[in-house]
Chain A
Amino acid sequence: GAVVSQHPSWVICKSGTSVKIECRSLDFQATTMFWYRQFPKQSLMLMATSNEGSKATYEQGVEKDKFLINHASLTLSTLTVTSAHPEDSSFYICSASGLAGVNEQFFGPGTRLTVL
């Protein structure tokens, strides 16, 4: 149980385009979803927290107009990187927590974004 999927697993795009990444909880209802980014050989940095039906809460220094987060249902959250630039190239990972495990987060496999 507690499986989280992400799509796509990797994406390459041109500078200036927008990219949408999906995060799904497959076998539980995720009341809260989190989006992280991870640079090579570095730890995970929380970008934003989203609750179903609410606006996301962004961490300090994360541009909410650039990283659009939608948590439309208890099983799906999306992260859209708008007008992507090469410095946005990173590994984006989502996680989800549900009512059964208040302090447990289950992570997706990650999405590698490369902006040319």
Chain B
Amino acid sequence: QKEVEQDPGPLSVPEGAIVSLNCTYSNSAFQYFMWYRQYSRKGPELLMYTYSSGNKEDGRFTAQVDKSSKYISLFIRDSQPSDSATYLCAMVSGGYNKLIFGAGTRLAVHP
């Protein structure tokens, strides 16, 4: 079993839709949770950063962490074609900030 599970998609939605992206994990020691966006042939860009359980909102993006269920989500409201990218969840393990990545979900928002 992988430490972090993420459905690779692809996920195709119409412009304006609400997108839900999810990851599950097995290591209860994870405390910090991130979502990265990666455009094709580019490095990942940090979107959201959450500590422990709860919600965090930033514009059209909302990150949720449910540590009891070992489940994290990223919601994108009013999705735009420019949101088309691969979204990677990541969690921090260990004292050296070692990130454990999910497989990434490819999202396509069509006009």
Q: Do A and B come from one complex?
A: yes
Residue of A nearest to B31 (CB): A103
**Given that A93-B44, A103-B32, A107-B45 are contacting pairs, would A42 and B103 also be in contact in the complex, using a CB cutoff of 8 Å?**
yes
**Given that A93-B44, A110-B42 are contacting pairs, would A43 and B104 also be in contact in the complex, using a CB cutoff of 8 Å?**
yes
Interface string of B31-73 (1 = CB under 8 A from A): 0101010000111111001010000000000000000000000
- The smallest C-beta distance from A114 to any residue of chain B, in angstroms, reads 13
Q: Does A46 contact B (CB under 8 A)?
A: yes
Q: Is the CB of A44 within 8 A of B42?
A: no
- The smallest C-beta distance from B16 to any residue of chain A, in angstroms, reads 27
Q: Is the CB of A103 within 8 A of B103?
A: no
Number of A-B contacts (CB under 8 A): 56
Which residues of chain B are near A108, meaning CB under 8 Å? 43
B side interface size, CB within 8 A? 23
- The smallest C-beta distance from B35 to any residue of chain A, in angstroms, reads 12
Interface string of A103-116 (1 = CB under 8 A from B): 11111111010000
Q: Is the CB of B44 within 8 A of A104?
A: no
> Chain A interface secondary structure, helix, strand, loop or mixed?
strand
A107 to B43, CA, bound (A): 6
Q: Does A78 contact B (CB under 8 A)?
A: no
Q: Does B97 contact A (CB under 8 A)?
A: yes
Q: Does A25 contact B (CB under 8 A)?
A: no
A108 to B41, CA, bound (A): 11
Q: Is the CB of B88 within 8 A of A46?
A: no
A51 to B97, CA, bound (A): 12
Which residues of chain B are near A6, meaning CB under 8 Å? 43
> Which B residues contact A (CB, under 8 angstroms)?
8, 32, 34, 36, 41-46, 49, 51, 88, 92, 96-99, 101-104, 106
